[in-house]
A and B are shown apart, each in its own frame.
Chain A
């Protein structure tokens, strides 16, 4: 009977598929949303400015890097991906490496925040938090670590307030937003292509109508990058990870992080899309923030620029372009392996951690 059953083409495979689906469903039924915990690293709230929060990561060992590090993540996502789970935590790794960490949480912008532009993000919030850290430690400069859009903000901050930044680290940070035209790749730089397909008037129409840009808009853009794979994860991937609880929890944590997309404040989104993606003003030296032009030649402190050659969101060429534009004589560019998010939540972060910590300690 078994032989006859197995002889029918595809039936055994279908039965195996059914078994795997049942196991995944069984595991999934045991897990509730509250079981999927993110950002469990102990932290304390230090300061709050209009819904933006500065957290201090409580370390269980003394800091080996004397100057504290302020981590600035993008506004389009939540910083919690940097502490996805114990064994995939960029912040935990840095903390264990001896960094005294502060994290800026942009919060959930409401319509009341719609007029916050880059000038406010940099001169009001970031500078306000830098003041707080400096006061706490009795110092006049901090180390700044910016990621993706947070890297752009950190770069602008460093250019406009060079006396407040001891060392600057940027990760997967775009500088030349048109660099993707030189290295075109179907799977990379979709945001650049999509934004350039619109006119500046279209962006104005979007922002004037929507106000803050809802996180769902960003989510839709990311889904368009890999249209089918974005859907296939709910059958193929879920079926695969559903055979193992640890893998399933990892998958669900990432899903929870992806679902938690804060809105982007309207005026800063207008600058992000028009001034940077469309008109490439940061690379051209025309970007005006808070009434002042951002001149990257003013970034004279040591810079460590980390990027990924396989980044599908920020093409590597866009990040590498920083080298020719910053004014520092102490520039280190470092290509790491992994995706845009993967480099912060993969298990193999030892190299990245060691690189950052040793770079900071030597300066």
Chain B
């Protein structure tokens, strides 16, 4: 093979031993090489795709399927699924490219979760109103005839308040509250993420930066307070010492 040389003008190999050129063989060789190169490329892409599917897609799809197969997770709506999709898109950080991390993008998951919480609350609260109506009817029946609509209103108000108070103390309501708090806080974090990016774009301090400043101020305030206390103690002890010296001198 070392005897072969390339003809830069023709782009084909010229035999050096004086053998006749086989144009069909050369064409076939070119086609074969092109095909092999093309196949290698597609094979590499297929490997890449397979790796992506295996490492990112399959776990995410498994998680999504698990979520879908779990009736307990259904009230959560689409929120957990969007998290999984974000995980598929996330990339490592590159030095000289803009951040492509999907986690940096605002997520709709908390907003979807808030909608799901509202549904859960409505589901939990619906029987409470039915119960309040039943209790009101029972209270009216027990009371008998009434002189005014105002009396009925008072009974209704008391029944409704007691029913809602009992519901607000229930584990069911506690669960909705807990879920609401988490979703609301995550939603707030998403909004803050957007606001911080906007603030950075126009050179305004962000919440995170201001918190850092406040932390330092707070530490300084504590330090000043401690130093002031030490100074007062020193002044007191010095004053006591000055008073003690003449007294001792007098005694001697």
A residues contacting B by CB (< 8 A) are 10, 13-14, 17, 50, 111-116, 120, 123-124, 128, 186-187, 190, 193-194, 197-199, 202, 205-206, 209-211, 224-229, 232, 236
Report whether B164 and A209 are in contact in the complex, using a CB–CB cutoff of 8 Å. no
Residues of A within 8 A of B217 (CB): 112
B residues contacting A by CB (< 8 A) are 148-150, 153, 157, 160-162, 164-166, 168-169, 171, 174-175, 177-178, 181-182, 185, 188-189, 192, 207, 210-211, 214-215, 217-218, 221-222, 225
A115 to B212 alpha-carbon distance, docked (Å): 10
Residues of B within 8 A of A199 (CB): 178
Query: Known interface pairs A111-B211, A197-B178, A209-B185. Does A228 touch B221 (Cβ–Cβ under 8 Å)?
Result: no
A193 to B177 alpha-carbon distance, docked (Å): 12
Report whether B211 and A114 are in contact in the complex, using a CB–CB cutoff of 8 Å. yes
Report whether A186 and B165 are in contact in the complex, using a CB–CB cutoff of 8 Å. yes
For this complex, 25 residue pairs linking A to B, each with C-beta atoms less than 8 Å apart, are A10-B148, A10-B149, A13-B149, A17-B150, A111-B210, A113-B214, A115-B215, A123-B225, A124-B225, A128-B225, A186-B162, A190-B165, A190-B168, A193-B169, A198-B181, A202-B181, A202-B182, A210-B188, A225-B165, A225-B168, A226-B165, A228-B161, A229-B161, A236-B153, A236-B157
Report whether A124 and B168 are in contact in the complex, using a CB–CB cutoff of 8 Å. no
Chain B residue with Cβ nearest A203: B181
Residues of A within 8 A of B192 (CB): 209
Query: Known interface pairs A124-B221, A124-B222. Does A111 touch B214 (Cβ–Cβ under 8 Å)?
Result: yes
A190 to B169 alpha-carbon distance, docked (Å): 7
A123 to B221 alpha-carbon distance, docked (Å): 12
**Chain B: minimal CB distance from A185 (Å):** 10
List 7 additional A-B contacts (Cβ < 8 Å) besides A197-B178, A198-B181, A227-B165.
A115-B214, A124-B221, A187-B165, A190-B169, A197-B174, A211-B211, A228-B164
Residues of B within 8 A of A227 (CB): 161, 164-165, 168
A152 to B140 alpha-carbon distance, docked (Å): 45
A289 to B189 alpha-carbon distance, docked (Å): 30
Report whether A197 and B214 are in contact in the complex, using a CB–CB cutoff of 8 Å. no
Report whether B210 and A194 are in contact in the complex, using a CB–CB cutoff of 8 Å. no
**Chain B: minimal CB distance from A107 (Å):** 15
Report whether B214 and A112 are in contact in the complex, using a CB–CB cutoff of 8 Å. yes
Report whether B185 and A206 are in contact in the complex, using a CB–CB cutoff of 8 Å. yes
Report whether A13 and B177 are in contact in the complex, using a CB–CB cutoff of 8 Å. no
Which secondary structure dominates chain A's binding surface? helix
Residues of A within 8 A of B160 (CB): 228
Query: Known interface pairs A111-B210, A186-B162. Does A194 touch B177 (Cβ–Cβ under 8 Å)?
Result: yes
Report whether B161 and A226 are in contact in the complex, using a CB–CB cutoff of 8 Å. yes
Residues of B within 8 A of A14 (CB): 149
**Chain B: minimal CB distance from A360 (Å):** 29
Chain A residue with Cβ nearest B161: A228
Residues of A within 8 A of B177 (CB): 194, 197-198
A295 to B175 alpha-carbon distance, docked (Å): 35
Chain B residue with Cβ nearest A227: B164
A120 to B149 alpha-carbon distance, docked (Å): 55
A151 to B115 alpha-carbon distance, docked (Å): 40
Report whether B218 and A116 are in contact in the complex, using a CB–CB cutoff of 8 Å. yes
Residues of A within 8 A of B225 (CB): 123-124, 128
A186 to B163 alpha-carbon distance, docked (Å): 10
Residues of B within 8 A of A114 (CB): 211, 214
Most chain A CB within a 10 A radius of its CB, from B149, B169, B174: B169
Chain A residue with Cβ nearest B189: A209
Residues of A within 8 A of B185 (CB): 205-206, 209-210
Chain B residue with Cβ nearest A207: B185
Which of A13, A17, A198, A211 is close to B178, meaning CB atoms less than 8 Å apart? A198
Residues of B within 8 A of A113 (CB): 214
Chain B residue with Cβ nearest A124: B225
Residues of B within 8 A of A123 (CB): 225
A235 to B46 alpha-carbon distance, docked (Å): 70
A225 to B173 alpha-carbon distance, docked (Å): 13
Report whether B178 and A202 are in contact in the complex, using a CB–CB cutoff of 8 Å. yes
Residues of B within 8 A of A50 (CB): 221
Residues of A within 8 A of B210 (CB): 111
Chain A residue with Cβ nearest B160: A228
Residues of A within 8 A of B149 (CB): 10, 13-14
Most chain B CB within a 10 A radius of its CB, from A120, A123, A197: A197
Which of B157, B189, B214, B222 is close to A120, meaning CB atoms less than 8 Å apart? B222
**Chain B: minimal CB distance from A349 (Å):** 28
Which of B174, B182, B188 is close to A194, meaning CB atoms less than 8 Å apart? B174
Chain B residue with Cβ nearest A50: B221
Residues of B within 8 A of A225 (CB): 165, 168
Report whether B181 and A13 are in contact in the complex, using a CB–CB cutoff of 8 Å. no
Residues of B within 8 A of A228 (CB): 157, 160-161, 164
For the complex of A and B, 8 pairs with smallest distance between CB atoms: A197-B174, A115-B218, A228-B161, A227-B164, A209-B185, A228-B160, A205-B185, A112-B214
Report whether A193 and B174 are in contact in the complex, using a CB–CB cutoff of 8 Å. yes
**Chain A: minimal CB distance from B162 (Å):** 7
Report whether A13 and B188 are in contact in the complex, using a CB–CB cutoff of 8 Å. no
